[in-house]
Structure 1
Amino acid sequence: MAQHVYPSFDICNLNTDKILKDLISIEPFGGYVSRNPHLQGIHTHSFYHLTYFRKGSGQHTIDFHTFLVSNDSFYIMKPGQVHNWEFSAEEAEGIVINFSPLFFDTLKLSSALLVQLPVLEDIHSGTISFSDADKAKAWSILEQMLREKQEGGKQSALYMATLLLQFLILAGRQVQSTDPASTAEHIHYAAFRQFEQLTGLHYRQKKLPKEYAEMMFVSTHQLNIISKTFSGLPAGTYIRNRLLLEAKRLLVNFGMHINEIAFELDFSDASNFGKFFKKYTGMTPEQFRNAYKPE
């Protein structure tokens, strides 16, 4: 596995108030970016990063997709995603939470429960807007978390965990209200989760839908239905996009040569990798890399 040269941060690398063995932090967003200037360049995290903006302007780029910062919106970044911020002169206002899955394990709450939360899954990356009915409720939960961190008390961390779960469930309901298919009750939900996990493990060596269909004991036709239901994409495109995402992540790892990246992604040589990348992005690997090089 390649070693990433762009920075990868743990919560302990942040200039922020941390609790429970550096496994979670929560604070007002004001000043967060200025106190952590190392976060403004392209980087990745080993933890979940959540931000709820009450107001502000600028943009947030997650895995090469740019989202405009807007009022009363919620942004989420999952471990391993490449990420950077750009803000206008007026600093954004909101609350930022960083937490490791181990936060729940330490409290004897299995981090496995996080996979039950649609808002934390790859199919819902990016930004979520709360309905008018739920904005006040969401903000109230976050303010309770802030107060609990400041005041402390018996089983304070456990109480904060329950509040965080409430917030994530409420955020997930915003997703479900706009995308009814993306619910744990859907007949194909478990199968898509399996497909998603398998592509995350095997996208380097297995690039054909039939290979995943065989592992899942379904037909290629059934796999296409499953993929389209949740991602909106045929299975082949979903697999290819996962490979392209990793290629982009590695290309902004400026310490790796392109032939190393081709080898890492199981291409026979840099030429074949370059043809593949240009066919589906419209840019050569060098052109993509140059677009993200720091000035």
Structure 2
Amino acid sequence: MKDIPVHQLKERATSGLEIHRFLEGDMPKADEPLGAHRDDHYLFFLLEGGLASMMNDFQEVHFEASQLYYVLPGQVHHRIKNFEAFGWFIAVDTMLLSPDYRSIFENQLIMQQPYRLTDVQLNQCKNLLNLLYEKYCEDESRTFYLPVVHSLLQSFLGMAACCFSHTGNQRLMTSRPVQLAQQFKKLLVEHVREVKSPSAYANMLNVSETYLNEALKKVTGMSVSYWIQQELLLEAKRLLYYSQMNVKEIAHTLGYDDHAYFSRLFKKTEGSTPLSFRKGYRK
């Protein structure tokens, strides 16, 4: 049986970001994934006008004007209809989201209803995204290209996180697997540098490793080991991009005594060496 495809942002973007403005009457691009798929990154949609709908983890979501919506990494989704809609599409590498922002977005695992922006919020987002898109389209070789683009992106992510943080008191009762998935991801962010064993996280949550794995697969489609590896890779990418530590220091910080093994693991997962990744993001 053919598995659900996972689309990687690094195959389309070198800056950890992809942003497009879609207009009324726009047709899907030839390489646009229309069927059910997962992404290894966050997706944000801001609808300025029109109507649209999407199937996300077997729930049909409808969009209207002035609504903001996002899709988590690992969620299965595909577009259904686009009724002369226009607005913004932003794809963001997980490494560019702070733990605080991720906590807010991932706590909305069940209540993935679009957030309706006020007129003031909508205008602020539109102005910010217009500026972000303008800088994004500039020559990547320009001085401070990435810092400027990423700074503007952080402003948008902060505004989005602020919007969704106010919906927490409306959260519906969640199932046991969803609760476990949320608790596991919280523990993972806090302990991944020291703890890398699936059984250790299961013990922290007072469940069997088998049950934790089943819960994660049911909610996210991915195993416990997959999420541990992804969180380690995310931490490595953050340290490579934001810190001045060398590869050996980063490996030790993440709990690897053998930095050569860490480098091989990074290359196998990311497709490039740690130094190549750092050079690519800092160019």
Q: What TM-score do the two structures reach when normalised by structure 1?
A: 0.54
User: Counterpart of 2:153?
Assistant: 164
The count of corresponding residues between Structure 1 and Structure 2 is 198
* Residue 239 (structure 2) pairs with residue 245 (structure 1): no
User: Counterpart of 1:63?
Assistant: 57
**The one of 100, 108, 112 aligned to 1:123:** 108
Residues 166, 32 of structure 1: CA spacing in aligned structure 2 closer, same or farther, 3 A cutoff? farther
Distance in 1 (alpha carbons) for counterparts of 2:22 and 2:99:
24
Distance in 1 (alpha carbons) for counterparts of 2:22 and 2:168:
29
Identity over the aligned pairs, expressed in percent? 17
* Residue 120 (structure 2) pairs with residue 133 (structure 1): yes
Residues 199, 32 of structure 1: CA spacing in aligned structure 2 closer, same or farther, 3 A cutoff? farther
List gaps (5 residues or longer) in structure 1: 105-110, 183-190, 221-237, 251-295
Could you report, residue by residue, the CA deviation over 1:203-250 in whole angstroms, capped at 9, with x for unpaired residues?
xx99xxxx97x7259xx9xxxxxxxxxxxxxxxxx9997564357x99
What are the within-5 Å matches in structure 2 for residues 49-128 of structure 1? 49-88=43-82, 90-102=83-95, 104=96, 113-124=98-109, 126=112, 127-128=114-115
Distance in 1 (alpha carbons) for counterparts of 2:165 and 2:94:
23
User: Counterpart of 1:175?
Assistant: 164
Is this contact kept in 1: 2:17–2:92, CA < 8 A? yes
Distance in 2 (alpha carbons) for counterparts of 1:241 and 1:64:
17
Distance in 1 (alpha carbons) for counterparts of 2:99 and 2:27:
27
What are the within-5 Å matches in structure 2 for residues 166-205 of structure 1? 166-179=155-168, 194-197=183-186
Could you report, residue by residue, the CA deviation over 1:160-211 in whole angstroms, capped at 9, with x for unpaired residues?
21222211221222223333599xxxxxxxx99645546999xxx99xxxx9
**The one of 131, 149, 164 aligned to 2:136:** 149
Residues 134, 215 of structure 1: CA spacing in aligned structure 2 closer, same or farther, 3 A cutoff? same
Residue 40 of structure 1: how far off its partner (Å): 1.4
Is this contact kept in 2: 1:51–1:76, CA < 8 A? yes
Distance in 1 (alpha carbons) for counterparts of 2:100 and 2:167:
20
Residues 22, 178 of structure 1: CA spacing in aligned structure 2 closer, same or farther, 3 A cutoff? closer
Is this contact kept in 1: 2:101–2:157, CA < 8 A? no
Distance in 2 (alpha carbons) for counterparts of 1:179 and 1:239:
26
List gaps (5 residues or longer) in structure 2: 172-179, 193-197, 224-283
Is this contact kept in 2: 1:27–1:95, CA < 8 A? yes
Amino acid of the structure 1 residue aligned with 2:7: F
SS at match of 1:35: coil
Distance in 2 (alpha carbons) for counterparts of 1:162 and 1:79:
22
Q: What TM-score do the two structures reach when normalised by structure 2?
A: 0.56
Cα RMSD (Å)? 4.0
Residue 159 of structure 1: how far off its partner (Å): 1.5
Amino acid of the structure 2 residue aligned with 1:34: P
SS at match of 1:167: helix
